[in-house]
Amino acid sequence: MNILLISLLLLSTALSAEEVQLLDTITVTGGQEAIESLSGSAHYVDEESLNTYDYTDVQQVLTQVPGVYIRTEDGFGLRPNIGIRGAAAERSQKITLMEDGILIAPAPYSAPAAYYFPNVSRMQAVEVFKGPVAIAYGPHTVGGAINLVTKPVPLERTGEVSLGFGSDGFQKQEVLFGDVAQQWSYLLEALNYQSDGFKDLDVGGDTGFERQDFNLKLNWDSDMQARFEQSLQIKLGYADEQSDETYLGLSDADFALNPNRRYSASQLDQFNSDHQQFHVLHQLYLSEDTVIISKLYHNQFSRSWNKLDGFFHPTEPCVIQNSSGREVNQCPSIADILGNTNREEYLRLLRGESDSLGNFADTLDITNFDRNFVSQGIEVSGQYFWRHGQVEHESTLGLRFHRDEVERLHTPKGYLVSGSALVFDGVARTAATDNEATTDAIAFFVQDKLQWEAWSINLGLRVEDIETDFMDELDADNNATAQETVTLLGAGVFYQWHERLGWLFGIHQGFSPVVPGPGATAESEESVNVEYGVRLNWQDQHNLELIGFFSDYSNLVGRCRVSDSSCEPGETFNGGAVEVAGVEMTGLYQGHWRALKMPVSFSYTYTESAFQENFQSNFSQWGTVLIGDEMPYLPEHLLRVDWGLVGDRWDLQLAAKYTGEMREQAGQGTIETTPFTEAYTVLDFSAHYYWQPHWTFQLGIDNVTDKQEIVSRRPFGARPNKPRTVMVGVNYQL
């Protein structure tokens, strides 16, 4: 209540307005039409686009958006790796993730790696916004933010049933129903999708997954005669997953023989999780030009990932001190084994081709990575529409109190290989990791959108006060507390130079906080980001957007994960100054062929990067870095082209997606001199038949040519993209 009173007091000093625009509290961009005059780059993937290919993998959805980089891992997008404009794609931890404008990562400050990601199948739209627009939605503002927009509560009785079946035992069932009763309305949703998996375990067994998602939205609107118009929405959600997924990939030689093989050493690997959310959204219209928005949220996520983590070594000392004085494990890592032909004895154990003998490092370390996350907070913002002379203002003031935490308990067990089976060695081992990290953050932001004749100007200020605490139950010397206050500024300008042509320019300060960790000494990531470009619209549904961007990182940050054997998980590294520059281009042409519509669209990204300092790092993606080295997992070229043919009751769509070659470690010059992935192209096809008003039938084929390449060697070894997958579906709407 105190927050609400403060907001009312601050807003009461503003002047009255002559015109009113009601705030859309769920979307950030305001939709596709609003983007055309937005003073910053943003992209809105609407419901029609989501339904075209009916992707369950949000990474495939985002190939439509320029400036977004994907690192494929499991082929299904269960744990996406998404980066924006140079921000690292590693577990999407350098971007702000939201659902309906509310932070949705497991612990956005304490542990931002997105081991939970909302199912895109239940979304109405996906928003990606970059540049100064992102400054209002921290904590991560270096690259941009993604907002997943759920289906709205209906204004009348609504019902829908969707069923899908496909290759490798794929199934998807989705049911939703909503209704209205006077001032109340609701929406119930249930989603289940699963697959047997496309990989073949050497010893047989499951390599697939099953996900379930249940959601309820309850909405109340004030009476028409009420003094103040207001609405209240409560959202409850539960989601769970069981997947037989692994970090273990293949050696390049084995990949060439069968990219879909899985070694027997991963037969016990399994990921289990559940996610619960409680969101409350309240809107209060004090007048025609003043609205107060209050958001209360509580997200809880638990996961247990039992997976192969390496080898125990009973005879030689594995733990030594590195150059910084920290203890690291020097036993052969799985990544080293898969990439080094001199490690054949270990590789045979992974394949199950030889048995453990006990006289060398032949005991598999299979660790249960158990983690619990909580993310909760309250946010109050006020929006005021007013006019001063010929200038229209949309002023927003917001305050958020946030707390998140993560508890980690990693318990290793030893297994011996015996006839391709894994047998527990009977040795009781203590926990390898037992710690807790918490963050309390207060964020304040002010934003003013000005409209004057052909000019649209966006000014933003964000202040973050962050306090972190890390407690290690195994080593008190690792305990650490930290406090940081940062002030970020941003400004964007759009000028409608001609009815069909507009120019934009924006600059803002980027920031990504350091997560609390063992004796953390790294500083937060900071950057200055500039964008500039042109928007061209002619005729109906014909447009072109060309935007250049430049990100000047004064302090790049890398975060060690379990797959990085040369550093301790959670440890952070500073990479110093880095420059990232590029060009983003999107276009849409609505053509015709005889009596048919023929839409053609494309999205293209060109990117270049260079480290500005020499340094030595234990972080596997950097290693020894020289001035001029390029960043890893940033392809120089990304391209997607969509072509469609639309009749009265049917449509056909074809998408061609090209990903250029990528370095897997910092380097320069000929890319073959460092570990890299080759360029590859994937074709997707979709067809719909609309039978009567209520029925839709769909055929989808992902990866039509069945071309598979090494798309990543992280976490451990070569990993393929998904093979050809066929899906048929039917949808019925009331």
For 474-522, the pLDDT digits (tens) are 999 889 999 999 999 999 999 999 888 999 999 999 999 988 987 656 7
Given a contact cutoff of 8 angstroms between Cβ atoms, the answer to whether 519 and 567 are in contact is no
Element (H, E) at 316: none
DSSP per position, 567-600: S-TT-EEEEEEEEEEEEEEEEEEEEEETTEEEEE
Length in residues, the chain: 734
Q: Please give the model's pTM, rounded to 2 decimal places.
A: 0.92
- Looking at residue 574, what is its pLDDT? 76
Q: Which long-range contacts (CB under 8 A, 24 or more apart) does 674-680 make?
A: 675/339, 675/713, 677/709, 677/710, 677/711, 677/712, 677/713, 678/709, 678/710, 679/635, 679/637, 680/707, 680/709, 680/711, 680/721
Residue 17 — pLDDT band, cuts 50, 70, 90? Answer: very low
Q: How far is Cα 349 from Cα 359, in angstroms, rounded to an integer?
A: 14
Residue 16 DSSP one-character state: P
> For residue 139, is the peptide bond before it cis, meaning its omega torsion is within 30 degrees of 0?
yes
Q: Are 666 and 623 in contact (CB under 8 A)?
A: yes
pLDDT > 90: what percent of the chain? 72
pLDDT for 167 equals: 97
pLDDT at residue 470 above 80? yes
Q: What's the average model confidence in pLDDT over 267-288? A: 96
| Rounded CA separation 609/624 (Å) | 16
pLDDT at 331: 64
Q: What is the DSSP string of 106-135?
A: SBTTTB---S----GGGEEEEEEEEGGGGG
> Which candidate, 643, 490, 608, places its Cα nearest to that of 129?
490
CB 492 within 8 A of CB 449: no
**pLDDT tens for each residue of 99-155:** 999 999 999 999 999 899 999 999 999 999 998 888 888 899 998 999 999 999 999
Minimum mean pLDDT range among 160-164, 329-333, 470-474, 632-636: 329-333
In order of their start, the domains of the chain are 158-733 (2.40.170.20)
pLDDT tens figures, 68-93: 999 999 999 999 999 999 888 888 99
Measure the CA–CA gap between 685 and 655, rounded to whole angstroms: 6
Confidence at residue 563, expressed as pLDDT on a 0 to 100 scale: 62
14: confidence class by pLDDT, cuts 50, 70, 90: very low
Give the model's confidence band at 387: pLDDT under 50 very low, under 70 low, under 90 confident, else very high: very high
Which pLDDT tens digit goes with each residue over 529-565? 999 999 998 876 789 999 999 999 998 887 766 666 5
Token look-up 């590693």 returns: 90
Q: Confirm if 111 and 88 have CB atoms less than 8 A apart.
A: no
Q: What is the pLDDT of residue 77?
A: 94
> What is the per-residue pLDDT for 5?
35
Checking if the pLDDT of 25 tops 80, the result is: no
Residue 266's pLDDT is what?
Answer: 97
> Mean of the pLDDT values across residues 686-715?
95
> Of residues 90 and 731, which shows the higher confidence score?
731
**Nearest-angstrom CA–CA distance, 625 and 610:** 10
pLDDT, position 624: 84
pLDDT (0 to 100) of residue 29: 78
Q: Of residues 361 and 273, which shows the higher confidence score?
A: 273
CA-to-CA distance for 152 and 178, rounded, in angstroms?
10
Does the pLDDT value for residue 18 go beyond 60?
Answer: no
Closest CA to 518 of 567, 479, 481, 468: 479
Mean confidence (pLDDT) of the chain: 89
Q: Alpha helix locations (H) across 260-341?
A: 334-339
Task: Reduce the DSSP state of residue 7 to 3 states and report it.
Answer: helix
Q: How confident is the model at residue 255 (pLDDT cuts 50, 70, 90)?
A: very high
Asked whether the bond before 259 is cis by omega within 30 degrees of 0, the reply is no
Q: pLDDT tens digit string along 573-591?
A: 777 899 999 999 999 999 9
Q: How far apart are CA 712 and CA 193, in angstroms?
A: 25
Would you state the structure tokens that stand for residue 587, as one six-digit string?
């276009």
> How much is the pLDDT for 724?
98
Q: Give the long-range contacts of residues 700-708, CB within 8 A, separation 24 or more.
A: 700/53, 700/54, 700/166, 700/726, 700/727, 700/728, 700/729, 701/725, 701/726, 701/727, 702/53, 702/60, 702/727, 707/680, 707/681, 707/682, 708/259, 708/260
- Please tell me the predicted confidence (pLDDT) of residue 87: 82
Mean pLDDT of 236-257: 97
The 10s digit of each residue's pLDDT in 607-638 is 999 999 998 877 777 878 899 999 999 999 99
Higher pLDDT residue, 13 or 50?
50
**pLDDT for res 3:** 37
